[in-house]
Amino acid sequence: MFLTTYFFNKLCTLFYGAWSWWWDTNNIFFLFTLIVLAITWYVWIFTNNSKKNQPPLPPGPRGLPVVGILPFLDPELHSCFESLSRTYGPIMRLPMGTKVGIVVSSPSAAREMLRDHDITFANRDVPELASAAVAKGDSDIVFSPHGPGWQMLRKVCVREVLGSATLDSVYYLRRREIRNTVKYLYSRVGSPVHMGQQMFLTALNAITSMLWGVTVQGQERASIGADFRVVVADSMELLGKPNLSDFFPGLARFDLQGLKKQLLGIVMRFNRIFDAITDKGPRLEGGRQNKDFLQVLLQLKNEGDAKTPLTMTHLKVLFMDMVLGGTETTSNAIEFAMAEMMNKPEVMKKAQEELKTVVGKDNIVEESHINKLPYLQAILKEVLRLHPVLPLMVPHCPSQTCIIGGYTIPKGARVFINVWAIHRDPSIWENPLEFRPERFLDGKWGYRGADFNYFPFGSGRRMCAGIAMAERMFLFSLASILHSFDWKLPEGEKLDLSEKFGIVLKKRVPLMAIPTPRLSNPTLYE
């Protein structure tokens, strides 16, 4: 006991002696240190109190250090997320590398984000390849940050280029390509046709015709179109590959997979094609009826607002947006529609009877017939319910931390809206896995995203700008091939309706179908 007391007293003497010396020689430094410690303590207390007052982050699986849940995700992300949401709820957090992923699978949460907090969620989580291709997304209507530049592009697309007046003025270009498809299918009577591939070519030819079909004619148009098809195919293949840089942005500068280098090569090829088209010069005589999209855009560029000018860079990116956004989406939706109708022949028969009544078997389909075909329109709506072309939408990115459904959604998170899961929710839809167009005959459902039980084109200010063109292309194309032909599977072929996840949802097994003529006169196929 004595030794313990002795050593304790000695220790105190040494300590107080050292302290006294330090205080005498460093009192100014001491005061400074004390102030820094006090501020640090105050900030720590304030931050922790703020966090305590904030709702928690959404629930979700923990994942592994660094990589998070990435190694455990099934490639079919739409169904994988739907399965996880059954465990963790309709608002779910997923650690995805250095990114925080948020998955929303309920109409109420989607409504909060896309209507109640529309401006907060008006920005996109921009993929690294999109940043590399279009100057960090600043010229692209899909990924541009919300602001004057994006508003200008949106106005140009919705009101001018993809508005009813312009779409009506280029109808004859659209019609020409769809009639060419009917003619080709007639040459394939009795033989299997790869439906997805053929409808992709139809959509691509129709869209490129509307883009520059007046400006470029003849063999040159066919040559440019062939080059453009290769660029589009290469772009879609590249953009469909997983990119490490999207989950670990710090690795982007190293381009470990070489994807950025490949994409920049594709961009250079596209620029050469675009320059070849624009070098032909605008042919604006004869009024609006003789214009294609390119000429409309060039005129808008010349007459544009000085504050937010429409540049040639904008035009190039808008071209790619229209092609990439309007080809695979349309062709895959038509392929799913044909597969579902061949699986339920009574639906195809009902659609063909409607066409027979409205159009007649001694006549061909025109776009003016579409408004008189409610059952065909119901087929489109049901296809987009069961197989939405963008099952997870384009990811949103909140510009500030906010509260959704009682959870904190952090600024900069990658937000997926699982519209595929919402459209198949049994609490919303009766027999949700059944293909039944009749559920849309009451006219209740539209495409404008007002009802968050059904919003295949998104909702809010970032919803799809090309709805009008998509609706026209799908309905006109499908009506034409249904009215002109009966369809059956090749002998011994089994119908497969399974899906494959990608940028655009597609059939896992391509649909092969055999056409048989329906029209009364062979000249109607010319």
Q: What is the 3-class SS of 131-164, one letter each residue? A: HHHCCCCCCCCCCCCCCHHHHHHHHHHHHHHCCH
Categorise residue 212: left if φ over 0, alpha if ψ from -120 to 50, beta otherwise: alpha
Query: Is the pLDDT confidence value at 142 over 80?
Result: yes
Amino acid in the structure at residue 102: I
Token pair 């931050």 is found at: 47
Q: Left (φ > 0), alpha (ψ -120 to 50) or beta: where does 275 sit?
A: alpha
CA atoms of 476 and 102, how far apart (whole Å): 37
Q: How many CB atoms lie within 10 A of CB 314?
A: 25
Dist. CA 292–CA 444, nearest whole Å: 35
pLDDT at res. 19: 38
pLDDT at 290: 67
Q: Which residue has the tokens 């879609």?
A: 236
**Whole-prediction pTM value?**
0.87
Q: What is the CATH number of domain 123-525?
A: 1.10.630.10
Q: Which residue in 448, 452, 444 sits closest to 465, CA to CA?
A: 448
497-520 tens-digit pLDDT: 999 998 899 999 999 999 999 998
Question: Residue 4: pLDDT band by 50, 70, 90 thresholds?
Answer: very low
Lowest average pLDDT, out of 15-29, 37-51, 460-474, 490-504, goes to 15-29
DSSP conformational letter for 480: H
Q: What are the tokens at 206? A: 């129709």
**Residue 416 has which token pair?**
């997926």
What is the C-alpha to C-alpha distance for residues 173 and 257, in angstroms, rounded to an integer? 40
Residue 420 and residue 82 in contact, taking contact as beta carbons nearer than 8 Å: yes
Question: What integer is the mean pLDDT of 415-425?
Answer: 98
Strands (E), 287-420: 396-397, 402-404, 407-409, 414-417
215 pLDDT above the threshold of 50: yes
**Rounded Cα gap, residues 204 and 447, in angstroms:** 23
Q: What is the pLDDT at residue 188? A: 95
Residue 52: the pLDDT is: 59
Question: DSSP string of 212-266?
Answer: HTTTS-HHHHHHHHHHHHHHHHHHHHHHTS--HHHH-GGGGGG-TTSHHHHHHHH
At 21, is the pLDDT very low, low, confident or very high (cuts 50, 70, 90)? Answer: very low
Q: What is the mean pLDDT of residues 391-396?
A: 95
Run of H or E including 294? helix 293-302
- What b/e string do you get for 222-248 counting C-beta neighbours within 10 Å, with b at 16 or more? eebbeebbebbebbbebbeeebbbbbb
DSSP 3-state assignment of 304?
coil
Q: Which amino acid is at 430?
A: E
pLDDT at 73 over 90: yes
Mean confidence (pLDDT) of the chain = 87
pLDDT average, residue stretch 187-215: 92
Mean pLDDT, residues 378-402 taken together: 97
Q: What is the pLDDT of residue 300?
A: 87
Q: What angle do CA 264, 265, 266 make, to 5 degrees?
A: 90
The answer on pLDDT for 14 being more than 60 is no
Q: Which amino acid is at 282?
A: P
Whether 286 has a pLDDT exceeding 60, the answer reads no
pLDDT for 56: 95
CA-based nearest residue to 483, from 333, 330, 356, 373: 356
Q: Helices (DSSP H) in 72-190: which residue ranges?
A: 77-88, 107-111, 128-133, 148-155, 164-169, 171-187
Q: Is pLDDT at 496 greater than 60 in this prediction?
A: yes
Q: Give the CA distances from residue 395 to residues 137, 151, 251, in Å, rounded to whole numbers and listed in that order.
A: 14, 19, 21
Whether 31 has a pLDDT exceeding 90, the answer reads no
CB-CB contact of 459 with 325 (8 Å)? no
Which tens digit of pLDDT belongs to each residue from 288-345? 456 889 888 888 888 877 677 888 888 888 888 898 888 999 999 999 999 999 999 9
Residue with tokens 């904030």: 54
3-class SS of residue 372: helix
337 Cβ partners below 8 Å, 6+ apart? Answer: 379, 380, 383, 474, 478
- Where in the chain is CATH 1.10.630.10? 123-525
Instruction: Give the lowest-confidence range in 13-27, 105-119, 220-234.
Output: 13-27
232 vs 52 pLDDT, higher one: 232
Residue where the block lists tokens 């009008």: 468
Q: What is the mean pLDDT of residues 71-95?
A: 96
Closest CA to 395 of 94, 32, 45, 151: 94
pLDDT band with cut points at 50, 70 and 90 for residue 490: very high
> Which helix (DSSP H) or strand (DSSP E) does residue 488 occupy?
strand 485-488
